[in-house]
């Protein structure tokens, strides 16, 4: 109840249904089961178990309905849900037991599920960045030639045009779109390492199994095991904060432009006050600043979490679980709020000016 | 779903029912309504409305069942739930209208509700600190005279006793208990400022009204309005992180002592692995490190949120909403996990040594 | 050269001579030698060595001129300067050797030196807070009854007076003055623990020795050894950031008030631009925001540094060395810049209004 | 004196001569003058002034010896050194005045100087990453087939080889080398925008002038002005912290391996203790953890600094000045310390094992 993204009323401001769906328990479970099923098939492909057993196990896994209370109880005891999930699967496996989870480890499951989740997050980011760039282009067409006072150090400097400022808002977004593409194969990749990340329990076919699973799951293959090397995940978190930071600058500018006395922008549908009915607060613009500063705070924890001990750090990994998902929510919401805010802009800047 | 504290399975590790209850929507709503009712009574007391109207309004408010979907919708539009809540109350008020919310503002409601919440949080912290100190004393009695190698810079230094190390774990906890008492009146205090924090809409009786409400709600009175001066709240957040930091040191030590090769501690009920059934992972000790680093990350955002603009910053205030509640959860959970972990310790240190 | 506080030109903006002096190498060395001298005398007092030897050793130490290049070299090898300093002292001690450093440890020296430094920092903070409060009172007398538009969420709300806003700036400063007094005995206290913090090398007289040294050095006595429990130091860092945060709000408000279009404040001596000679930038007000956000960033590292391992963490302790001194500089500079900025204010708010 | 990197004795541990040289006042001034000279030549190239005047102005600028005290004084007044520097240049310019700084702005100068500095930093990082990878390869050849207990959650898990762990240390370094190359053109690029970043004072030839200057200075050309869009700079800071984070994991592992009881590594030349002559502290390994956590703290401030107001934020930009240079020092030192530490490793792991 204390989390703003899922809060009964604060959710009205902070929640974003699409990113919430991506992180839903159903989707997360589906990703874990997808890993286990692909792994069973890979065991068959590698000849560790016969193909029929592998296929039957995969089918069983894909249709499996886990006992959620037991997953929760298991997480309390084991620190993560996979041992309980695997116990449930094995309990249901009967003769298919050799094709269930043998040789892989909890972190393979959770990290691959994370990769599948982040693939969806990246798709959402890319799509919204494109939409937001279009919105800014639309505003530029409508208002770009209007005059605006350029301000440096919050002081009037020299006249510019609205188009100049919009260009400043837009230019990092194009870079972010490129960054999503750059990071996609680095982040949406298979994790398969086995208990201590050396792939030895998987035998000689480990690389082939990993490649097979990557293809089956629509992920990038990976020559390395990234159990305790979280740089790509952290770099993705950096991107989340870079995006929300760019949008924080947009929001800050809108807040400043909306000040009475400056009156450089008009927005419809501003927020009301319980005490001052005349007010039209630029709620969404403020929210962008908040989300930027939230992610700028969180990013520190992701970098702290790089300091894994040995083959797997329970404490650093759990810190990632705490911090990364809310960062994706903040960024997704910053994008949707930006798009919505742009749609509410009814004018920017002063009278039409001649281009210098 | 992405918040570990309320997560279907991660909640098994991170959730703490008592702190969750404190932040429940029901409790939060009850606090907001308690404010509005006390305010109505204060209006009667101050002679702004007649006492019967004031009392009837207060009774109506205390029995009110808000429309939650409308609160959520209102938060989406206004950036906070109070305008919608007040609209609902006024709609139900009929002739009691003059005794409902007239002269106060949204931030008075939310901040006073926060003060009521943090009062409960402080009670919980104080109680758990006491319990944890008792647990450490118990461990000291059982194992305090055992030998232990003192380690500095993670290297064997000189022999100490288990009691020396336990004393190091315990001593900051006693300080934290004092800090809770020191901060209680600074944090659990009334907020009453009106629209722009100058108390002018409340007239000459503003101070008396604030004092009356403080007494009615069991909060500390306040000569100042703290709409945009959040130092006490931030100092409370500092304490949350100081506590979890001390417990992080405890957890880190336990993790190090539990290493095979050192074997300086034994814990029952360690976590299992999906790949290595022989393992007994010190899940709770690791969790303490995670929660310490989580709060050490978050605290930065609370300090950033001190930079309020003018009479109220929408963006800085909302940052506080995002960060403070999870910090209380992390600290509460760190305390419960510490207590639980201590109960699982079955031995510490080596053979009995003579006291030097 | 990359540190703004000691930078050849950036120092013009960021440096503060008084805090720089507090952290000068001379002062730091003097503090370390003061510890060693007091310790020698304490050894005499405790009867560990005869009083004449103790006194002669203390005199020798107080007059000692360390070889700085050797301290640097020693720090490279040992990770801190004390082993090299002690080697130098012992080399000069001749027959006084038994009265030099025997039974204490590097951390006792560095932490007590830190306590002496922070005592001076606290004096500086207290003095400047008092001056700044006076400056704000002066501004209030001059301009307090002027009209000002109250602004919430950066939007015009209701009229207030300049005095209302000044009261908001001033009120946390009074709290900070109290906090300095509250923390002084918790921070300016002796550290004496010996190699592993158990005081055993000091024998039965350890507590008496620590008390004697505290008195000799003008520090608070301490029943506990705080080698690996850094809560009080971190709480002091919290205060540094609370102060700079309050001043960041002041600076932010001044920046907003100075905007053309609002024109709510006039400052003399604003900064110039290389491209726009007409500009009068509110440099000091901006600096306050920067310093607030700097400290709000740093504070996270201080809380991370609470997670000490065992009897002493080399890595967490060194993190404190990196972060705490710049925080004191940022806060000291924020105070001096605030005082200077207030002196430059030539008007605030509009025409004289009647008090409501 | 309070900055560890330039500190008289702490510098022995933290300073790195090569990165210090890159940030020296001389180098910084040379970069600023190089910008001004290239700009004068560009004015000639563009026909704004005649080529002879441009060339003579550039020659004069390149030979110019600024008055440092005046730069410091100017920074105090203007918030940055460029207005004072330009006044000095113009004072010396005589008839060359039209070819000095006309149409550009302080931020163009400082940002281009930063780009030149970061180009050197990136060269240093790339070179050291290569050296460190070689060192790790050497260690792998020497000790890679030795047995090591794989540890997860700080608990013994399954046997691995030293080579497995070295591979984990090395793999992110290869990624970082790629990241340096990826970021080089995004960071080492020209800044040329004029007073409000719209390039209008530079006339129609602005893009050509920027390209000419980029070529002259060995920087990447840039279609955009990045006065208030700091994403690439922040992304570079992210990389600094990703690198130090990877090395923090290396350092943490070494600290853990060096524990008595585990004894999985031997290092020559460990640090001594003033109280315990027998100790061999893994100073450099600890330093790596410290530097990782330092940068993980700082990175938050860089992301906060993305929230620029309008065409230029004085406060956000100055925050960058405070935070980015120490981050480069921390990362450079982490690399040199890692290389030095690897050279001191005399054995890792147990007896030779057969490869599985």
pLDDT in tens, A40-89: 999 999 999 999 999 999 999 999 999 999 999 999 999 999 999 999 99
pLDDT of residue B352: 42
- Give the number of residues written for chain A: 356
Give C356's contacts in chain B (Cβ within 8 Å): 200
Of the pLDDT bands very low, low, confident and very high (cuts 50, 70, 90), residue C356 is very low
pLDDT classification of B314: cutoffs 50, 70, 90: very high
Predicted confidence at residue C40, as pLDDT, reads 98
Q: Return phi, psi of residue C160, to 5°.
A: -125, -170
Collect the ranges in chain A with pLDDT lower than 70.
1, 351-356
Cα D47 to Cα D53, D105, D217: the distances in Å are 11, 19, 20
Res C1 pLDDT > 90: no
CB pairs under 8 A between B and C: 206
**Res. B353: pLDDT tops 60:** no
Higher per-residue pLDDT: D90 or C356: D90
Give the residue carrying structure tokens 């997808």.
A34
* ipTM given for this complex: 0.96
CB contact under 8 A, C198 and B160: yes
Span B193-204, average pLDDT: 90
Contact D290 C319 (CB under 8 A): yes
SS3 for C333? helix
- Whole-number pLDDT of residue D356: 38
In chain C, what are the domains? Answer: 11-348 (1.20.200.10)
For residue D212, what are its two tokens? 């000419």
pLDDT over 70 for what percent of chain B? 98
Query: What is the model's pLDDT at position D1?
Result: 52
- List phi, psi (to 5°) of C62: -65, -25
What is the structure's pLDDT at A175?
A: 97
Query: Is the pLDDT assigned to residue C272 strictly greater than 90?
Result: no
pLDDT value for A355:
42
Contacts of B134 (CB under 8 A, 6+ apart): none
**Chains contacting D (3+ CB pairs below 8 angstroms):** A, B, C
The more confident residue out of D22 and C260 is D22
Q: How far is B166 from chain A (nearest CA, A)?
A: 22
Reply yes or no on whether the pLDDT at D9 is more than 60: yes
Q: Is pLDDT at B201 greater than 90 in this prediction? A: no
Gap between the Cα atoms of D58 and B138, Å rounded: 78
C-alpha B323: how far from chain center: 11
State the average pLDDT for chain B: 95
- How far is the CA of B161 from the CAs of A279, B154, B156, B295, in angstroms? 66, 17, 13, 31
In this complex, is the C-beta atom of C88 within 8 Å of any C-beta atom belonging to chain A? no
What does D93-140 look like in DSSP terms, one character per residue? Answer: HGGGGGGSSTT--HHHHHHHHHHHHHHHHHHHHHHHHHHHHHHHHHHH
Q: Which of B257, B261, B316 to mutate to test the interface with D (most CBs of D within 10 A)?
A: B261
Spatial distance between the Cα atoms of A13 and A4, rounded to a whole number of angstroms = 8
**D95 close to B (CB below 8 A):** no
Pick the residue from chain B with its C-alpha nearest to C295: B303
Of C341, C299, C297, C310, the C-alpha closest to C128 is C341
Bridge partners for B151 per DSSP: B156
pLDDT at C202: 86
Q: What is the mean pLDDT of residues B105-133?
A: 98
Question: What's the pLDDT band for C154 if we cut at 50, 70, 90?
Answer: very high
| pLDDT at B117 exceeding the cut of 70 | yes
Q: Map residue C259 onto helix, strand or coil.
A: coil
Q: Please give, rounded to a whole number of angstroms, the shortest distance from the CA of B340 to a CA of chain A.
A: 12
Taken in order D193, D194, D199, D202, is the CA torsion positive or negative?
A: negative
Per-residue pLDDT averaged across D192-213, rounded? 93
Q: How large is the greatest C-alpha to C-alpha distance in chain D, in angstroms?
A: 80
At B248, list the tokens.
Answer: 């992080």
The span from the CA of B306 to the CA of B319, in Å, is 10
In DSSP terms, A149 is beta-bridged to: A159
Q: Does B261 touch chain D (CB under 8 A)?
A: yes
Give the model confidence (pLDDT) of D93-149 as tens digits: 999 999 999 999 999 999 999 999 999 999 999 999 999 999 999 999 999 999 999
- Model pLDDT, residue B350: 81
What pLDDT does residue D178 have?
98
Q: How much is the pLDDT for A1?
A: 52
Q: Does A156 touch chain C (CB under 8 A)?
A: yes
Restricting to C residues 165-224, those with a Cβ less than 8 Å away from any Cβ of B are: 165, 167-168, 171-172, 175-176, 179, 182, 195-198, 200, 224
**Residue range B252-301, pLDDT digits in tens:** 999 999 999 899 999 988 777 777 777 788 999 999 999 999 999 999 99
Q: Per-residue pLDDT for B151 more than 70?
A: yes
* Whether pLDDT at C255 is above 70: yes
Mutate to test the interface with B, among D155, D159, D245, D292 (most CBs of B within 10 A): D155
Does the global pTM surpass 0.95? yes
Put simply, whether B11 touches A (Cβ < 8 Å) is: yes
Q: Within an 8 Å CB–CB cutoff, is residue D290 touching chain C?
A: yes
With beta carbons under 8 A apart, name residues in chain A contacting B289: 315
Confidence at residue C171, expressed as pLDDT on a 0 to 100 scale: 96
- Closest Cβ opposite residue D297 in set C68, C283, C323: C323
Select from B262, B290, B260 the least CA-distant residue to B154: B262
CA distance B25 to chain D (A): 31
Q: Do A165 and D310 touch (CB under 8 A)?
A: yes
Task: Please give the pLDDT value at position C135.
Answer: 98
At residue B1 the predicted structure's pLDDT band, cuts being 50, 70 and 90, is low
């Amino acid at each position: 109840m204390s989390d703003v993204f899922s809060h009964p009323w604060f959710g009205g401001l902070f929640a974003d249904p699409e990113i919430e769906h991506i992180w839903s328990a159903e989707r997360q479970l589906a990703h874990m089961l997808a890993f286990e099923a692909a792994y069973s098939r890979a065991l068959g492909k590698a000849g560790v178990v016969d193909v029929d057993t592998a296929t039957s196990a995969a089918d069983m896994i894909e249709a499996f309905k886990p006992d959620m209370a037991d997953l929760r109880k298991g997480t309390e005891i084991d620190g993560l849900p996979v041992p309980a999930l695997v116990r449930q699967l094995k309990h249901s496996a009967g003769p298919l037991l050799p094709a269930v989870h043998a040789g892989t480890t909890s972190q393979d499951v959770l990290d691959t599920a994370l990769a599948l989740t982040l693939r969806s997050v990246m798709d959402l980011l890319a799509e919204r960045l494109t939409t937001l760039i279009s919105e800014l282009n639309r505003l530029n067409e409508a208002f770009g030639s209007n005059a605006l006072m350029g301000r440096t150090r919050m002081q009037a400097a020299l006249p510019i045009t609205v188009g100049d400022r919009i260009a400043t808002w837009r230019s990092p977004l194009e870079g972010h779109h490129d960054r999503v593409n750059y990071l996609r194969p680095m982040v949406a990749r298979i994790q398969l390492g086995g208990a201590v990340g050396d792939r030895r329990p998987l035998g000689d076919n480990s690389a082939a199994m990993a490649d097979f699973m990557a293809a089956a799951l629509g992920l990038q293959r990976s020559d390395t095991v990234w159990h305790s090397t979280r740089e790509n995940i952290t770099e993705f978190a950096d991107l989340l904060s870079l995006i929300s930071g760019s949008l924080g600058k947009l929001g800050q500018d809108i807040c400043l432009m909306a000040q009475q006395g400056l009156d450089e922008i008009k927005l419809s549908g501003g927020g009301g006050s319980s005490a001052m009915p005349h007010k039209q607060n630029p709620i969404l613009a403020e929210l962008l600043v908040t989300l930027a500063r939230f992610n700028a705070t969180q990013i520190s924890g992701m970098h702290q979490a790089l300091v894994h001990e040995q083959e797997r750090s329970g404490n650093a990994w759990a810190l990632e679980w705490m911090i990364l998902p809310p960062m994706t929510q903040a960024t997704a919401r910053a994008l949707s709020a930006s798009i919505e805010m742009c749609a509410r802009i009814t004018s920017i800047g002063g009278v039409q000016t001649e281009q210098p």
